[in-house]
Amino acid sequence: MAYIEGDADTGFTITIDGPTSLFKASTRYGLSLAKMIPALLHVSKWSLRTKLQSKDSYTGGIKTSYFNLDDHCGLVTHYSRGKTYDSMLEESFAKRWEKLKTDWKLEREVDLIPIPGSVMIPDFRLVHPDGRDYLLEIVGYWRPEYLRKKFYQVQNADNNNIILAVSERLNLDKAGVDFNDTPAKIVWFKDKLNPKNVLSLLEEK
């Protein structure tokens, strides 16, 4: 389980716990949670405080201790940074955008958008030299739980400059969502997202 709070200016606090912690103390998920540390080392500025519970070999009871670590620890991760794009759909869109003749710049690195208990991470940011900017989220994954989560994020993002690119092949009725019922601008696509359609939406008065 994870709970996220904060903002881009002051930073985010992520609280992670095992799923059974609501009911009783457990050491079952310690190793799994520890595996996130190599990924955390990719972040430029961070600090970690961990509450550890272990069985006392003398009393048989559970003892509590704390472990602290931060970005000055000197550790080097063995995890790769991963792919630049999360999907071929995103990569294809970015490469086709580069061929457009437009002042709008497509950026891959995007700030996190706070929502209650979590954050939304848009796929792209579109920035114009005159100061206008939009966040672009491509919705192409079909699972109902993913669609409901994405719908919730957009509804609660408190942001009026989001563009949603939504696949026409998704069964939105089955997921019980209607992305038109959000403050976001909508652009529909079938197999590939056409950059010209996004650009037309950006240039609407």
Q: How far does Cα 92 stand from its chain's mean position? A: 20
**Contact (CB, 8 A) for 168 and 146:** no
What is the mean pLDDT of the segment spanning 9-32? 73
54: which residues sit within 8 A by CB, 6+ positions away?
27, 62, 63, 65
Q: Which pair of tokens denotes residue 142?
A: 């079909």
Q: Which pair of tokens denotes residue 145?
A: 């739980």
Q: What is the per-residue pLDDT for 152?
A: 83
Radius of gyration of the chain (CA): 21
150: which residues sit within 8 A by CB, 6+ positions away?
137, 139, 177
Per cent of the chain over pLDDT 90 is 25
CA distance 113 to 131: 19
- Using pLDDT thresholds of 50, 70 and 90, give the confidence band for residue 146: confident
Q: What is the mean pLDDT of the chain?
A: 83
Per cent of the chain over pLDDT 70 is 91
Name the residue with tokens 């240039």: 203
Q: Where are the chain's structural domains?
A: 2-70, 88-202
Q: What is the per-residue pLDDT for 11?
A: 81
**Strand-strand pairing, 62-70 and 118-120:** unpaired
Residue pLDDT, tens place only, 34-50: 888 888 898 888 999 98
88-202 CATH pick, 3.40.1350, 1.20.950, 3.40.190, 3.40.50: 3.40.1350
Residue pLDDT, tens place only, 62-89: 788 899 999 999 999 988 876 677 788 8
What pTM value is reported for the model? 0.69
